[in-house]
Structure 1
Amino acid sequence: MIDFSLSSEQLDLRAGLTALLADHSTPARVRAAEPLGFDPALWAVLGDFGFPQLAGSRDGTPAGLAELVIAAQAAGAALASAPLVETLVATRLLDRLGRADAGTDLVTFAPRPAAGGVARTVPWAAVADRVIAWDEGRIVASGPGHDVTTPKQTLSGLAIGHVDLTGATVLADGPEAAALFAEAAADWQVLTAAGLVGIGTTGLHLGVEYAKTRHQFGQPIGAFQALAHQLADAATLVDGAELLVLEAAWAGDTGSPRCLGLAAMAYTFAGRAARQATDRSLHAHGGYGYTMEYDIQLYFRRAKALGLLGGGDGDETVVALALADTDEGRP
């Protein structure tokens, strides 16, 4: 049996990051960062905390996915308006390539292969200094000042964009590069899944608390089985997703031959769990859940967006993530 209990160091990491995000990633700060979705002040604070160095080697030992999962889950729970997951994945890949020389650059990761020399729907591309991508059998890094196309308004709050990789620096090619990028893509799936678990957990908590305090017919609405069972089913899904994420992280850290498959499973299942949890929670709020004043819609939108970024047709994904190419549009 695999022991997923946290060590004292991991508990300290979770507590420290959770406290930091509670102060610097409040719902008010998340709203203020939209529509682009990036909070430079939060990113500076996270840099002081030790990002992205958390993903680098320490004393020659690569950082474990287990620790990074803790960070990603905390970031998801707080809807952090900063590229924690993508920066951790990019740093980890650069470290494997022996090119961990990003310095103070904000580096993001394109989870899907480029098409026609363009990395499409890349999270945080609109604010990144460099983008690490897979393009025609090569791992490449876009240079400073890369050409990026972004929608003016998005549903995601992830500063997405399409990046032209013309003139990008080739970091590696060949079969070994393909294997390394596959590992990085699996890292992204596992850590994004962890973020989705955090989103689902907090989103569900919002629904449960609302169901406890909202009264109809002389009792809390959570007392009605039709609602209580939906929230309970969603909680079961989120708990299952968390266990699958932990198993995928363990597989990645131990070099299990199942690591790539478990990473894909974790991402797919966590996306489903987070969408259902936030959907049920939003409906528990009734009509209020659809208003911008209530926090649940922030979690609902982020869960939907993260579940789309890892796959699907590029054009369809962009349509789903982008609200409208107008300044008047509002997510």
Structure 2
Amino acid sequence: MIDFSLSTEQLDLRAGLTALLADHSTPERVRAAEPLGFDPALWAVLGEFGFPQLASSREGTPAGLAELVIAAQAAGAALASAPLVETLVATRLLDRLGHTGSADLVTFSPRPAVAGVARTVPWAAVADQVIAWDESRIVASRPGHDLDCPKQTLAGLAIGHVDLTGATVLASGPEAAALFDEALADWRILTAASLVGIGVAGLRLGVEYAKTRHQFGQPIGSFQALAHQLADAATLVDGAELLVLEAAWAGDTGSSRRHGLAAMAFTFAGRAARQATDRSLHAHGGYGYTMEYDIQLYFRRAKALGLLGGGDGAATDAVVTLALADTDEGRR
């Protein structure tokens, strides 16, 4: 039986980052950062906190996925307008490649490039460096005049398309493919953790509203039709959190199941977060669809994060492919 209890150091990390984000990633700050979705002041504060260095070996032993999951979940709950997950993933990949990197803000493209263009890359619009997979090569590109940025997206995140012409080749061949797969698993796990944070915080908004909104002389949360929906969503989010922790454990221990668990965690957490924020939005009634209420921020972010990796279909395909590979291996 795996014990997912947090250590004293992990509890301190969660408490410290949660307190910092409560001060510097308020709903008002999140709104102000849209439509681009990037808050440079928040990124500067996170740098002072030492967040980008968590995954780097330059400062000593880098944090494991278990610690990074805690950070990603806190960032998701606060809707942080900064590239926390992608920077951590890119930093871990660069470390594995033996490159410490000199860029202040580095991001990771979870989707392979198409015709030499990395498309819909989170935070590419503000990144100093983009790490991507292009025709059996891991490449690094510094976005410049070739960057194509959508004017507005579902939930900001500074998305952009990056022309990889002239990009620096960091690795190629089968070894590079294995390293990129490791990075993609990291991205799925940490994005899943962020989605869990979104689901928890979004659900809390719905529950609090259901406690204070009265109809027919009683709180609407007392009506079974609503209470059961919120309870079902809470169960899904709890399950997603456990799956994310198991995937992180598998990644830290080098388990052969880590890639499958990462894909499952990403898919399940995405669905859980969308259901939790959807149920909370509906608990608000018509108010949930207005920009003045915070629940729509969580609803849109949950939708957007699930799409960045190609949607549920891409991760589900990965789960099926890995399951079939395991079955074939067992038959040999």
Same fold (TM over 0.5): yes
Which residue of 1 is the match for residue 117 of structure 2? 118
Which residue of 2 is the match for residue 322 of structure 1? none
Residues 161-172 of structure 1 mapped to structure 2, 5 A cutoff: 161-172=160-171
Q: TM-score, normalised by structure 1?
A: 0.92
Residues 84-95 of structure 1 mapped to structure 2, 5 A cutoff: 84-95=84-95
Letter in 2 for 1:250: W
Letter in 2 for 1:177: A
Which residue of 2 is the match for residue 44 of structure 1? 44
Residue 147 of structure 1 and its aligned partner are, at CA, apart by 1.8
Residues 228-267 of structure 1 mapped to structure 2, 5 A cutoff: 228-267=227-266
Deviations 1:66-119 (A, max 9, x none): 00000000000000000000000000100111101224x210000011110000
Do the aligned partners of 1:73 and 1:196 also contact (CA within 8 Å) in 2? yes
Identical columns (%): 89
Do the aligned partners of 1:143 and 1:167 also contact (CA within 8 Å) in 2? no
Is 1:306 aligned with 2:305?
yes
CA RMSD of aligned residues (A): 1.4
Letter in 2 for 1:27: P
Separation in 2, partners of 1:112, 1:206: 32
Deviations 1:281-309 (A, max 9, x none): 00000000000000000000000000111
Separation in 2, partners of 1:237, 1:144: 39
Deviations 1:121-143 (A, max 9, x none): 10001111110000000000002
Look up the SS of the partner of 2:3 in the other structure.
Answer: coil
Residue 59 of structure 1 and its aligned partner are, at CA, apart by 7.5
Do the aligned partners of 1:237 and 1:273 also contact (CA within 8 Å) in 2? yes
Q: Which runs of 4+ in 1 moved over 3 A?
A: 58-62
Which residue of 1 is the match for residue 330 of structure 2? none
Separation in 2, partners of 1:263, 1:146: 35
Letter in 1 for 2:4: F
Which residue of 2 is the match for residue 25 of structure 1? 25
Separation in 2, partners of 1:312, 1:6: 31
Is 1:193 aligned with 2:219?
no
Which residue of 1 is the match for residue 325 of structure 2? none
Residues 76-225 of structure 1 mapped to structure 2, 5 A cutoff: 76-103=76-103, 105-143=104-142, 145=144, 147-225=146-224
Do the aligned partners of 1:234 and 1:273 also contact (CA within 8 Å) in 2? yes
Structure 1: runs of 5 or more not aligned = 314-331
Instruction: Say if 1:143 and 1:29 are closer, same or farther in 2 by CA, change over 3 A.
Output: same
Deviations 1:234-259 (A, max 9, x none): 00000000000000000000000000
Do the aligned partners of 1:155 and 1:305 also contact (CA within 8 Å) in 2? yes
Which residue of 1 is the match for residue 315 of structure 2? none
User: What number of residue pairs does the alignment pair up?
Assistant: 313
Structure 1 or 2: more helix by fraction:
2
Separation in 2, partners of 1:130, 1:279: 35
Which residue of 1 is the match for residue 277 of structure 2? 278
Do the aligned partners of 2:109 and 2:132 also contact (CA within 8 Å) in 1? yes
Residue 51 of structure 1 and its aligned partner are, at CA, apart by 2.4
Separation in 2, partners of 1:225, 1:50: 46
Do the aligned partners of 1:248 and 1:259 also contact (CA within 8 Å) in 2? yes
Residue 57 of structure 1 and its aligned partner are, at CA, apart by 2.3
Do the aligned partners of 1:146 and 1:165 also contact (CA within 8 Å) in 2? no
Residue 173 of structure 1 and its aligned partner are, at CA, apart by 0.6
Separation in 1, partners of 2:36, 2:30: 10
Give the stretch that moved more between structures: 6-15 or 59-68: 59-68
Which residue of 2 is the match for residue 316 of structure 1? none
Structure 2: runs of 5 or more not aligned = 313-332
Instruction: Say if 1:149 and 1:235 are closer, same or farther in 2 by CA, change over 3 A.
Output: same
Which residue of 2 is the match for residue 323 of structure 1? none
Residues 316-331 of structure 1 mapped to structure 2, 5 A cutoff: none
Separation in 2, partners of 1:221, 1:312: 34
Q: TM-score, normalised by structure 2?
A: 0.92
Separation in 1, partners of 2:100, 2:145: 20
Letter in 1 for 2:83: P
Do the aligned partners of 1:143 and 1:169 also contact (CA within 8 Å) in 2? no
Letter in 1 for 2:31: R
Residue 63 of structure 1 and its aligned partner are, at CA, apart by 2.7
Separation in 2, partners of 1:263, 1:311: 15
